[in-house]
Chain A
């Protein structure tokens, strides 16, 4: 579970990315170990894609140190890219080619023989359950199918590390589950997964370890369970009062739990025993429209660390 047995395949020290005056990544330190699934969890603009592009050796590091397989992307970009599989945030499939040819041509960029490319392409289309669409053009495919084609394409070169930038953003729940299942199998086959997401459920499902990123900085690091344990009481009581009255009810429930957060649409009360907290709320004669007790999630960790929610 802790994954400490793997050797480090990616290490970053004080990794920084600047665009003009704007610092998108502000000196982050992290380490990804062989065979694990490592995540960057953070809202839009946190600097996740910037980090991924530096790891993918397509965006120069501004300062700090970054090593992938022990290599410096500034000197050995080509060698690094030869061993990576990349699923960018936007599918960049070739609309002029069929699904299968997208994979075949991509394999050719890695100097894989044509015949091997053809076989591998069909094998991977089976894997992502799209073999029946092999000869279709890309354009008519659904978002989830395109995402699977992109993943299949990234696997053409048998990469040691797979970089997935928001693999399921914009997909419907069913398509997400299909994808998670495929990614889980890849991990079991020993592929190191590095992914970014702003979905806490995705991070919990897929990641052995993750860093919480916000505004270019890393706020915390650990396994999902560790992070929740360290940064949030076990349970959360969610209270909804009539629209616009949250702020006026907040003082009434003050101190019911270990901590509380007042959001525009609800009040969150953190407590180890949520039901007990709810009884206390009733005892104080606050009357929420609805009340719900649930377990703490990474969303709560993020709120705790940054004072903001992951998804607006």
Chain B
């Protein structure tokens, strides 16, 4: 009986830090960030509309007549139809990732987290709150992007509405990844590496040319987190539902989950010594 009562904790107990299990107030982090950024929000949104507008118009005008239709899941689509959902995925990624780079400053110079952790907030609240905030930020860019796509006629049907939740998922995954990366940054100089590390992913995730162009290296695409976002959004935009979209969704959720756990460990280590 003694032995039975002393049963071992579940395996996940060591993996998921207590601060994450104790998280009850991630929304307070959102509230703080809203207080800070509400005055500049208009510009953020406006930028969110214009950047995709410029990219899509440039692609349309410049490459429209230069590149033949591209095959996606057995359908032939114009090049700009091919590129638009990929750029949407990239924008969801960038919006979230760049927002999470603030995490470094909140941990170090600004001491934002230290003062939160002196209250009933936990490191888990901080991580979840910042991941949600970056997701929302990326989601707003995605929504603006989607509107521009619709206005320019680059959504194929009402299935395009599914792109919004799907790009939120992309933002969520990269908000997690960005948060985890930010906890490893040691000094401002390290930031130089982040865009450089993101560039190959941006260029080589079947973003600008189809997976078939990669020939026998096509499988490598699966290692690019962005590729899963690109492939998911591209399929949904055409109303295609191949079984592979299930894989993409799982991969993106897994990425978010693992990054959040890792970030909570890192933040605890850095701030709760």
A109's closest neighbor in chain B, by CB? B119
Cα of A58 to Cα of B117 in the assembled complex, Å? 7
A56's closest neighbor in chain B, by CB? B118
Cα of A67 to Cα of B54 in the assembled complex, Å? 61
**Among B24, B111, B118, B272, which residue has the most Cβ atoms of chain A within 10 A?**
B118
Cα of A88 to Cα of B111 in the assembled complex, Å? 11
1/0 per residue A100-117: CB within 8 Å of B?
Answer: 010011101111000000
Instruction: Tell whether, in the assembled complex, residue A105 and residue B120 are in contact, meaning their CB atoms are under 8 Å apart.
Output: no
Question: Which residues on A sit within 8 Å (CB–CB) of B115?
Answer: 88, 92-94, 106
Instruction: Tell whether, in the assembled complex, residue B272 and residue A109 are in contact, meaning their CB atoms are under 8 Å apart.
Output: no
Which one, A60, A78, A104, contacts B120 given CB within 8 A? A78
Cα of A92 to Cα of B119 in the assembled complex, Å? 13
Instruction: Tell whether, in the assembled complex, residue B120 and residue A109 are in contact, meaning their CB atoms are under 8 Å apart.
Output: yes
Task: Give the contacts of A72-91 with B (CB-CB under 8 A).
Answer: 77-79, 81-82, 84, 86, 88, 90
Instruction: Tell whether, in the assembled complex, residue A108 and residue B36 are in contact, meaning their CB atoms are under 8 Å apart.
Output: no
Interface size class of B (residues with CB under 8 A): 20 to 34
- Looking at chain A's contact residues, the main secondary structure is loop
**Given contacts A96-B36, A97-B35, are A109 and B111 in contact (CB under 8 A)?**
no
Task: Give B44 Cβ to nearest chain A Cβ, in Å.
Answer: 15
Cα of A60 to Cα of B17 in the assembled complex, Å? 14
Among B25-33, B61-69, B88-96, B237-245, the stretch in contact with A: B25-33
Task: Give the contacts of A32-89 with B (CB-CB under 8 A).
Answer: 56, 58-60, 77-79, 81-82, 84, 86, 88
Assess whether B135 is interfacial by the CB under 8 Å rule. no
Instruction: Tell whether, in the assembled complex, residue B272 and residue A94 are in contact, meaning their CB atoms are under 8 Å apart.
Output: no
Assess whether B183 is interfacial by the CB under 8 Å rule. no
Q: List 25 A-B contacts (CB under 8 A).
A: A19-B273, A56-B118, A59-B273, A60-B272, A77-B22, A78-B24, A78-B120, A81-B118, A82-B120, A86-B118, A88-B115, A88-B118, A92-B112, A93-B115, A94-B110, A94-B112, A94-B115, A95-B110, A97-B32, A97-B36, A105-B35, A109-B28, A109-B116, A111-B25, A111-B120
8 closest cross-chain pairs (CB), A and B: A109-B119, A92-B111, A86-B118, A92-B115, A96-B36, A82-B120, A78-B120, A105-B32
